[in-house]
Structure 1
C-alpha cells in the first residue's frame, strides 16, 4: 500500500471504475445516479427514490478484484442518500427509506465507512481520466457522479482530485526522508534535504491548484445549489434499523493530505475543541489512510535534521495553503450568509486562523 501511496497519494491505486458491471440490476443503479441531478429538481424526488429497487451488494465481503466496483457502488448510494436527505427546496428530512438505507449500511460496513457520503466518495473515488496516458489533472479529468448539472460542482470536486494526485509527491518525499535515516554514508544529509525539497515544492503546487477554485466556480451557485447536498446528517433514522444516526457533512477536512503533513512535521496544536474536531475527521477517512497517518506520526521529528530555512519554508507553504483555504471559506460561505460553520461542522472563521498561526509558530525561533 505504501508504494501505491507514493505514486498515487490517497487516490485509488487504479483509476475508479466508471460503470457497475455486476449484473443488469446494477446497471439500473448507474442510471439512477446519472439521473439524480434531474430528479433532485422534482418535488416528488423523495417519493420516486423510495420506490426504486436498489440491488444489495452481492457478497458478505469485498475481494480485491471487486474493490473498485464496491467503491463505485458506495459513491452511487452515498450521493442518492445525501440527495434524499438534503434535497433543496424541500422540508427537512430525518428518515432514510429502507431501500436506500439497508444497502448503504451494508456496503459502508464492508468498506469500514460510515453510512453516508464522506470525502472519499465525493472526491477520491469520483473521477475519470479522458486520456489515461496523461496525468490526473484539471483538463484531463471529470466526475462520475454529481448532485447538480452545474459544471461548478464538477470543478469543485476535480480541484480536490488534482490536489490529491499532486500529494503523492509529498508522501513519496516522506518515505524517501524516512529511508535516508538508515544511511550511514556521506549521502545521508543530501538525501534528507532532497526529500524535504520535494515536499516543499509539492506544497507550493497544491496551493496553486487550490487558488484556481474561482476559475469555474461561482460563490453564489456553490452556496445555494450544491453545498447543501454535502451537509450534515442530523438525527437520521435509517429504516430497517432501530438506530438514529448523526454524521458530519462531507468536507475537505476529511482528506488525509494535511493531517499526514502535520503528523510528519510534528506541528503542535492546542488541546481545544478544534483538535478534537480534527481528530474526529479521521473517523471519516478510509482505515488504511488513518493507519498511514499513525505510522508517519511515529517517524522522528524532521525539524532538528532539516536546515532551518528549508523547514521554515515548508511551514510557510502550509500556512499559505491554509490562507487560500481561509480566503475561499470567507468568499464562498461567510459572505453568502450568517452560517459560521463549514460543511463538516467546523466554526471555520476562528479555527482556520488558529491553524495558520500555530503553523507559523512552529518555525525555528517561533
Structure 2
C-alpha cells in the first residue's frame, strides 16, 4: 500500500474509468449519465427512470482489471438513485424502484459498501485528467458525472479531489513511519504539516467558482441522506442511509488517530465513527492500523507537533466557515447531508484540536 499512498493518497491507484470499455452492454449507462442533469429538469423524470431497463453488472467477483469499471457502475447507479430519491422540486421519494435498487445493491455488495452514493463515488472515483502527464490538480481535472449543468458542482467535487491528492504526502509519511517501527517522528510531522498547509490552501479556493445560493438550492439536495427509503425488490427492507459528505473522507480520521487527538463523545463523534461504513474497505483497514500506533507526544518536537495541530484546526476552521456561508445561512433543517445536526459540534472539534497542544 506504501507506493499507492505515496503517489495517490486515498485516490484510486489508476485514474478512474470514464466509460465502459470491457462490457459493451453497459455503454447505455454512459449516455444516461451524460443525460442525467438534463433529465432532472423534467417533472416526469421519475416516470422515465422507473421505465428504464438497466444493464446489470455482468461479473460475480472483483478483480484488479474489473475494479475501475465496477466503481464507474456504482457511480452511474449511485447518482441515478440519489437523483430519483432527492429530485429537486419534488418531495423526497420513499421507494427506490426495483430496476434501480436491485442492480445497485448487487454492485455495492461486491464493493462491500452501503448501496447509496457516498464520498468515494461522488469524489474519489469521479474525476479525469485532461493531460495524464500532468498532476491531479485543479485546472487539469474534471468530473465524470454530475447532477446539474453548473460548473459550481464540478468545482465543489474537484476541490475535494485536489485535497485528496495533496494528502498523499502525509499518508505516505504515516505509512513509512509505521513500516519503519515508529522511527523519524519529526520527519513524519514535517510531511503532515506541509501537506496540511497545501490542503488548507486548496480548501480556501471553494468560493472562487462556487456560489452559495447555487450550491444550496441546485445540487446539495441531491447528496442528502435517505430517510425511511424502501429498496424495492431487495431483501434490505426500509433503510436510513447517510448522504454524501466530506466526513466520509478518511484523511482527517487518520490524522486524529495518528496524533491521538481526544474528542469528547457527542452525537457528532458517533456520526463520524459511523462514517467508516461508507469508506472503502482498504481505507478503513489503514485507519485501524494507524489507531494502533503509539502516542508520539512525548517523543516529538513540541513546536512541530503544535504547528501540526494548528494546521488541522485551521483546516477545520475553514470548513466551519464554509458550512456557515454555504449551508447555515440558507437552511431551516439543521441536519447536514449526512443526517446530523453538525454546526453545534464543529466548533468543539476545532477547540479540542487546539486545546491538545503541548504546553
Q: TM-score per shorter chain, which class?
A: over 0.9
Question: Does the CA contact (< 8 Å) of 1:137 and 1:162 recur in 2?
Answer: yes
Q: State the match for 2:355 in structure 1.
A: 361
Q: Distance in 2 between matches of 1:37 and 1:286?
A: 27
1:215 to partner: Cα distance = 0.1
1:180 to partner: Cα distance = 4.8
Question: Does the CA contact (< 8 Å) of 1:180 and 1:192 recur in 2?
Answer: no
1:36 to partner: Cα distance = 0.2
Structure 2 alignment gaps of length 5 or more? none
Q: Distance in 1 between matches of 2:5 and 2:179?
A: 15
Partner secondary structure for residue 329 of structure 2: helix
Q: Distance in 2 between matches of 1:291 and 1:181?
A: 18
1:179 to partner: Cα distance = 4.3
Q: Say whether residues 1:65 and 2:75 are aligned partners.
A: no
Q: Say whether residues 1:203 and 2:201 are aligned partners.
A: no
Q: Say whether residues 1:349 and 2:323 are aligned partners.
A: no
Question: Does the CA contact (< 8 Å) of 1:340 and 1:349 recur in 2?
Answer: yes
Q: Say whether residues 1:309 and 2:303 are aligned partners.
A: yes
Higher mean C-alpha displacement, 265-274 vs 246-255: 265-274
Any idea what the Cα deviations from partners look like across 1:106-144, whole Å, max 9, x if unmatched? 000000010010100000000000011111000000000
Question: Does the CA contact (< 8 Å) of 1:177 and 1:196 recur in 2?
Answer: no
Q: Distance in 2 between matches of 1:22 and 1:53?
A: 20
Partner secondary structure for residue 319 of structure 2: helix
Q: State the match for 2:281 in structure 1.
A: 287
Q: Say whether residues 1:122 and 2:144 are aligned partners.
A: no
Q: State the match for 1:55 in structure 2.
A: 55
Q: State the match for 2:134 in structure 1.
A: 134
Counterparts of residues 1-366 of structure 1 (less than 5 Å): 1-181=1-181, 191-242=184-235, 243-365=237-359
Partner secondary structure for residue 294 of structure 1: helix
Q: Distance in 1 between matches of 2:325 and 2:199?
A: 19
RMSD, aligned CA: 1.2
Any idea what the Cα deviations from partners look like across 1:292-316, whole Å, max 9, x if unmatched? 0000111111211211100000000
Question: Does the CA contact (< 8 Å) of 1:118 and 1:250 recur in 2?
Answer: yes
Q: Distance in 2 between matches of 1:101 and 1:179?
A: 42
Q: Distance in 2 between matches of 1:223 and 1:106?
A: 32
Higher mean C-alpha displacement, 340-349 vs 319-328: 340-349
1:91 to partner: Cα distance = 2.5
Question: Does the CA contact (< 8 Å) of 1:97 and 1:239 recur in 2?
Answer: yes
Any idea what the Cα deviations from partners look like across 1:292-341, whole Å, max 9, x if unmatched? 00001111112112111000000000000000000000000011122322
Q: Distance in 2 between matches of 1:329 and 1:91?
A: 24
1:346 to partner: Cα distance = 2.6
Question: Does the CA contact (< 8 Å) of 1:269 and 1:275 recur in 2?
Answer: yes
Structure 1 alignment gaps of length 5 or more? 183-187
Q: Distance in 2 between matches of 1:292 and 1:298?
A: 10
Higher mean C-alpha displacement, 332-341 vs 249-258: 332-341
Any idea what the Cα deviations from partners look like across 1:158-207, whole Å, max 9, x if unmatched? 0000000001001112123334546xxxxx6xx33222111101001101
Question: Does the CA contact (< 8 Å) of 2:185 and 2:296 recur in 1?
Answer: no
Q: TM-score of the superposition, structure 2-length normalised?
A: 0.97
Question: Does the CA contact (< 8 Å) of 2:82 and 2:222 recur in 1?
Answer: yes
Higher mean C-alpha displacement, 332-341 vs 279-288: 332-341
